[in-house]
Structure 1
Amino acid sequence: MQDKKNSSSQLSRRKFLGTAAIAATGALVPSVFSYGGNSKSLNGMTNLSNPIPNSKFAGVQIGAITYSFRDLKGGLEATLNACIEAGLSSVELMGTGVEDYLGAPKNPVQRRPTPDNPFTDEENRAISQYNNELKEWRKTNGTIGAYTQLRKKFNDAGVNIHIYKWTAGETEEELDYSFKVAKALGAIGITAELNEKNARILGPAAKNNGMVAILHNHYQYAEPGFDVDKLLSYSSANRLNFDAGHYFGSTGLNPVDFIRKYHDRISSIHLKDKTRPDNATQKNTNQVWGQGETPIAEVLHLIGDQKLPIYCDIELEYPVAQWSTSVKEVKTCKEFCRQILI
C-alpha cells in the first residue's frame, strides 16, 4: 500500500501536469442539456454524441462545488454546461441565482444602503412588497415541483446534486423550506459555515427533514480553543464539509489524521492544493494542483481504501491563467484525482 501511495504522489508532482494538459486542451464535449428526455445543445440543435459524465473513480465520487465556475456568465444553464464539459457527475450546487432561474420575484432595489446613502422611503416600500411576494411565491404548490424539475434537468444530463449551499433565511419556517428544497434537488443536506449559530439552528431543521446539516470550515481549526466536537454535539444531524486545503494551509496538520478521526461525521471534503502556513515563500496560498503541499493523494487513497462514503469536491481557488478557463482547470483537477485513484 505504501508503494502505491508513493507512486501516486510522485505522479502528482512530476508527471501529472504534462498528461493532464493534453486532456484539458482537447476538444470539449458538446454543450448539451437534457430535459424531459430530450437532449439539446444551447443552440437548440439535437445532439446525441455527448457522453454522460462519470467522475467516480475506484469508488470515490469526485465532484466540484459550482463556486468553481463563478467567473461564468449565463446563470444556471452555464453552470450546468460547465459541469458537463468538465465531466462531473456530481456537484455541490451553489444556490445563488436558482430562485431567479425558477421565476421568483426579483428585488427591484439592487443597491446596498450606506450610512451616507440609506434606503429611501420608496425603496423601503418596494423591498417590503418584494419580500411579501417572495414569501408567497415560496408557498405556492408548484414551487417545490419546480425544484424537482430542475433536479431532473441536471440528472438527465448525468449530473447529480449531492449538497445544496443555500438557505431561505434563519427562521424555523425558512429553514424547513430550505431543506425541503434541498431534498427536492436530490441533495443529502445543506452546507453552511462552521460556527456556533449554524450548528445550533441547522441541525434540528435537517433532522426534522431526514437530512444533514453540513458545516464548512475556512481557518477555524487554527483558532485557539476552537472546539469542533462541541459544534457537532448540538445535533446528531450535524456533519462536516471538511475543507482539507484550508485545514492544511492554516494549521500545517495532515488532513488525513483529521479524516480518520471524524470520518463518520464528514459528508464531503473540499479539495484544493495549498502551501503550509510556515512556507518560506508563500504562506497558506492556493496553488495549481501538484505545485502546492497539500497531501491530496493521501486523502483520496484514504477515502478509496477505507471505502468511506464521503464526496470529494474540487474547489477551484487558484488564479486561472488568461489562456485557460475555469472549466478546463476543473477538468484538469478531476483528471489529477483520477490518475491518483486508478
Structure 2
Amino acid sequence: MQNDSKSGRRKFLRNTLTVAAGSTLITPSLFGAPSILKYYNKPNSKFNGVQIGVITYSFRSMEDQSAEATLKYILDCGINAIELIGDPAETFAGRPENKLNRSVFSGLMKKKKSGSITDDEVKELAEIQAEQAAYNDEVTKWRKNADMKRFEKFRKMYNDAGVNIYAFKPRNTFGKNNSDADIDWGMKTAKVLGASHVTVEHPSDDPTTLRLGNFAKKHGIYVAYHGHEQQTPTLWDTALKQSKYNALNLDLGHFVAAGNAAPLDIIKNKHEHIKSMHLKDRQTPEHGKGNLVWGSGDTPIESALQLMRDKKYTFPGTVELEYNIPEGSNAVAEVQKCIAFCEKALK
C-alpha cells in the first residue's frame, strides 16, 4: 500500500505539471510551492552535451504573457535553459503597463517598409511612435528605482522549476540613444537573473559597440550582438577587437537568408566568441528567403548541431519560432517539434 501511495502521488504531480499544450494553465499559486517544483520532474533539453534552449519571444502568440504562464510554456516543452525577453520579468517586477497595440504598430511598420502605407496610416504611425516614446521615458524612470528583489524572486521561481536563464534581452535598453542608466540597469538585471550575457541587435555603429563593450567590462558580463540579413562573416570583427566582452549572438537562419555561403564556417571560425546561436530554418535568396518549418528550408540546423556536439562547443542553440504556426496548432506545440528535431539530430 505504501508503494501504491507513492505511485499515486507521482501520478498526481505528473498530471498537474505536464498539462497538454493549449490547455488550462497551472495557477500562479502552484509556483509558490517549492516542495513540488524544486525537486520533481526537472526538464532537460541538453542532448549529448549540446544545450538547446528557447528565446521566450517564441511564445509571443500565446494569450497569457505573465511570468508564470511563460514558465509553464517552457516546462511543457521540456526546456531547461532560456534566452529571456524582458517583458515577463519586468512586468513581474512591476513595470508600468504598456497599452500600445504591438500588432497594429508592426503592421504599420511593415506597410511603411514596403511603401504601401497611406497618408492616414502615416499619421497613425507617428501618433503610436510618440506614445511609445513617452512610455519609454516612463519605463526609464521606473527602472531607476525598480526593486531587484523582484528579479531575484523571478530567477528563483524559474531555477526552482529547473530552468536556467543564460541570456537576457530587455526591450529598448542597449540602443544608440539609450541613457547610461538604461544600459547599467540592463546589465545589472541580467546578472541578478543569472545570465552570462545580454543580447541586442547589432547596431552597425562602431561607437555604440565600443560603448556597450565598456559597460559590459564594468559589469563583468558579455554583450552578444544579434544579426539579421546584414550578417556577414566579418560583421562582428570591429566589435570583437574593441572589447573582449563583445560577442556574437549568431542567427544561423538569417545568415543563410543573407546569402552567405558555407554557413558552418562562421561557427567554426567564431565559436570562441559565440555566446548563443539562434536556430530557425530559412531559405537562401535564390529560393525566396522563406522562414519554414524545420527540415524544409536551406539552413543546415542538423549539421550545425552535430558540429557543436562533435567539437564540444559549449554555447547553447536557441530555438526561435518564426515560421507561421499551422492552423490548429500553437507556439508551444511548434517549439516542442523544434526541440524534438534537435534531440533527433544529436542522437
Tell me the TM-score normalized by structure 1.
Answer: 0.77
In the TM superposition, residue 108 of structure 1 has moved relative to its aligned partner by 7.6
2:55 touches 2:85 (CA, 8 Å); kept in 1? yes
In the TM superposition, residue 60 of structure 1 has moved relative to its aligned partner by 0.4
Letter aligned with residue 199 of structure 2: T
Q: Which residue of 2 aligns with 1:165?
A: 169
Aligned ranges for residues 1-342 of structure 1 at < 5 Å? 27=20, 34-35=31-32, 37-39=34-36, 51-76=41-66, 77-106=68-97, 127=134, 131=137, 134-135=139-140, 137-140=142-145, 143-166=147-170, 168=173, 170-197=178-205, 198-221=208-231, 227-279=235-287, 283-342=288-347
Partner Cα separation in structure 2 for residue 37 and residue 241 of structure 1: 33
Partner Cα separation in structure 2 for residue 178 and residue 151 of structure 1: 15
2:248 touches 2:273 (CA, 8 Å); kept in 1? yes
- Aligned-partner SS, 2:286: coil
Residues 166-201 of structure 1 show CA distances to partners (whole Å, capped at 9, x for unaligned) of: 154622222111101011111112100112344233
C-alpha change, 1:31 and 1:155, in structure 2 (3 Å) is farther
C-alpha change, 1:302 and 1:30, in structure 2 (3 Å) is farther
2:281 touches 2:299 (CA, 8 Å); kept in 1? yes
Higher helix share: 2
C-alpha change, 1:72 and 1:30, in structure 2 (3 Å) is closer
1:165 touches 1:191 (CA, 8 Å); kept in 2? yes
Letter aligned with residue 42 of structure 2: I
Of 161-170 and 297-306, deviating more is 161-170
The count of aligned residue pairs is: 298
Taking only aligned residues, the RMSD between alpha carbons, in angstroms, comes to: 3.2
In the TM superposition, residue 38 of structure 1 has moved relative to its aligned partner by 4.6
C-alpha change, 1:114 and 1:203, in structure 2 (3 Å) is same
- Aligned-partner SS, 1:75: coil
Partner Cα separation in structure 1 for residue 201 and residue 125 of structure 2: 30
In the TM superposition, residue 297 of structure 1 has moved relative to its aligned partner by 1.4
C-alpha change, 1:326 and 1:195, in structure 2 (3 Å) is same
Of 262-271 and 248-257, deviating more is 248-257
Letter aligned with residue 87 of structure 1: G
In the TM superposition, residue 156 of structure 1 has moved relative to its aligned partner by 1.2
1:219 touches 1:250 (CA, 8 Å); kept in 2? yes
In the TM superposition, residue 227 of structure 1 has moved relative to its aligned partner by 3.9
In the TM superposition, residue 27 of structure 1 has moved relative to its aligned partner by 4.7
Partner Cα separation in structure 1 for residue 330 and residue 255 of structure 2: 26
In the TM superposition, residue 307 of structure 1 has moved relative to its aligned partner by 0.9
Runs of 5+ in structure 1 lacking a partner? 1-25, 41-47
Partner Cα separation in structure 2 for residue 116 and residue 192 of structure 1: 28
Partner Cα separation in structure 2 for residue 114 and residue 249 of structure 1: 30
C-alpha change, 1:211 and 1:324, in structure 2 (3 Å) is same
2:144 touches 2:181 (CA, 8 Å); kept in 1? no
Of 238-247 and 74-83, deviating more is 74-83
In the TM superposition, residue 107 of structure 1 has moved relative to its aligned partner by 5.8
Letter aligned with residue 49 of structure 2: G
Tell me the TM-score normalized by structure 2.
Answer: 0.76
Residues 45-83 of structure 1 show CA distances to partners (whole Å, capped at 9, x for unaligned) of: xxx997221000000000111111110111132221110
Partner Cα separation in structure 1 for residue 126 and residue 336 of structure 2: 44
In the TM superposition, residue 131 of structure 1 has moved relative to its aligned partner by 4.2
Partner Cα separation in structure 1 for residue 234 and residue 307 of structure 2: 25
C-alpha change, 1:131 and 1:292, in structure 2 (3 Å) is closer
Letter aligned with residue 238 of structure 1: N
2:277 touches 2:318 (CA, 8 Å); kept in 1? yes
Partner Cα separation in structure 1 for residue 319 and residue 305 of structure 2: 12
Letter aligned with residue 277 of structure 1: P
Partner Cα separation in structure 1 for residue 169 and residue 196 of structure 2: 11
1:35 touches 1:156 (CA, 8 Å); kept in 2? no
Partner Cα separation in structure 2 for residue 261 and residue 87 of structure 1: 31
